[in-house]
Amino acid sequence: MKKVGNIAAAYFRRRTWLRLALIIVTLCLGGYFEISDFFPIKAHDLNYHAMQEIQKRAHGLPFCFAFLGDNKNSPIFNTLVKRLNHDPKLDFAILAGDTVLYPTRETYESFLTQLNSIQIPTLVLPGNHDVAFEDMDFYYKIFGRFYYAFELGGAKFILLDDSNETGLGDQQTAWLERQLKDGLHDRYRFVFMHVPLWDPRDDNRAGIRYAHSLRDADTARQLEDLFVKYKISVLFCSHIHAFYETTQRGLKTIISGGAGAELVGSDPKHTFYHYVRVTVSDQGVHTEVVPVGHKTPFEGIKKYLNIAGLYVRTLGKIYAGQILLALFILVLATDGLLEFLYHKKQQRMRPADFTARPAGKGPGA
């Protein structure tokens, strides 16, 4: 108890300076958490700049591009980036969304570091994770428009936004039909969207339904009718963390979701990290899946440590106010306890307020 009292006494001798230090630290932390959001991420309109680079690289047929999706801040995506950079056939790449776990400054900055290491121009679609919680600001400020189209070497590229997992909405659907009509004079027509029309794993006859596709079946059927009507060459989707290639009503669909996020399923024919190499020439459209395997047994551990770090950094920032409030309460409680111990020690050290007298010599004797 004497040692605790000594600590309390030492604390009170420096109490003013410690309180001042606490105020400075708190203001600095609060300023870091709050003021940093006022400084926007420098990257902006990246898709527009990527399209300009694509037009410079690919002047006509033939050309070749990579299609991939669903990396979700995974360090495994770095392995795919290296493969893309060492693929001499590629002119550009299209990344079909879910680039981040959820939309925050930290997750987008982490992804942009990876994106900047890709040595070919890369277009990025919005996925449901990129605009989660209806937070579309980060994607819009960094990449620009949510849906757009362009022509390249006699091919029409239409990139859509179905990140709400429900549909396109009336405005985008009307725009899509105009683009499809305009693309009839092109030799090839490619459509890109994050969420697929249908989940190829579903089997209605067997009662199996994964439903990792558009939630509104009527909307999915209407879009499929449009794509069949205007003879889409290939429909490219992501969202399902695996690889599938299907043809329904003459519509060829490729689903590629193996860019680094957790894989779903155990079938080696579908469940592996990969990208799709698409070659467009006078002879037609050739698609080839390129598997990208693990190089070390620690890739999975590294991936989850990276994700955990992003969660800690982001949640720490989100709950910074609560954390600072809890810190204040803890400090105040500790201060009160030390003050109590200090005064208790002072009372024990205070001399008695009376003088001992011999028996019978008290007052009035």
Residue 105 lies in a domain: yes
Residues 6+ apart with CB under 8 A from 192: 67, 94, 96, 125, 157, 158, 159, 160, 236, 237
In terms of domains, do 227 and 297 share one? yes
DSSP 253-285: EEEE--SSSPP----TTT-S-EEEEEEEETTEE
Same domain, 224 and 284: yes
Q: Does residue 361 sit within a domain?
A: no
pTM, two decimals, is 0.77
pLDDT at 137: 93
Distance in angstroms (rounded) separating the CA atoms of residues 218 and 216: 5
Residues 124 and 227 in one domain: yes
Round the average pLDDT of the chain to a whole number and report it: 85
How much of the chain, in percent, has pLDDT values that exceed 90? 58
**Structural domain contains residue 160:** yes
Shared domain for 125 and 210, answered yes or no, is yes
Query: Could you give the residue ranges of the DSSP H alpha helices within the chain?
Result: 2-13, 15-35, 46-57, 76-85, 105-115, 137-143, 169-182, 217-229, 299-318, 320-349
Tell me, what's the pLDDT at 15?
65
Residue 324 and residue 341 in one domain? yes
Domain membership of residue 362 (yes or no) is no
Summarize the confidence of residues 96-109 as an average pLDDT. 92
Asked if the structure places residue 204 within a domain, the reply is: yes
For residue 85, what pLDDT band results from cuts at 50, 70 and 90? very high
Range of the domain at 188: 46-316
The answer to whether residues 132 and 192 belong to one domain is: yes
122 versus 339: which is more confidently predicted?
122
Check residue 313 and give its pLDDT: 62
Q: What is the CATH number of the domain that holds 308?
A: 3.60.21.10
364 located within any domain: no
For residue 278, the number of C-alpha atoms closer than 13 Å in the C-beta half-sphere is 22
| Confidence at 365, pLDDT banded by 50, 70, 90 | very low
Q: Residue range 239-246: average pLDDT?
A: 96
Reduced to 3 states (helix: H, G, I; strand: E, B; else coil), residue 84 is helix
Tell me, yes or no, whether 99 lies in a domain: yes
301 and 339 assigned to the same domain: no
- Considering the domain architecture, whether residues 34 and 65 belong to the same structural domain is answered as no
**Arithmetic mean of pLDDT, 215-243:** 96
Which one has a higher pLDDT value, 15 or 146? 146
Indicate the number of domains in the chain: 2
Q: Say if residue 22 is in the same domain as residue 50.
A: no
Residue 355 lies in a domain: no
Whether residue 219 is predicted with pLDDT greater than 70 in this model: the reply is yes
Co-location of 8 and 130 in the same domain: no
Q: Are residues 331 and 305 in the same domain?
A: no
pLDDT value at residue 239: 97
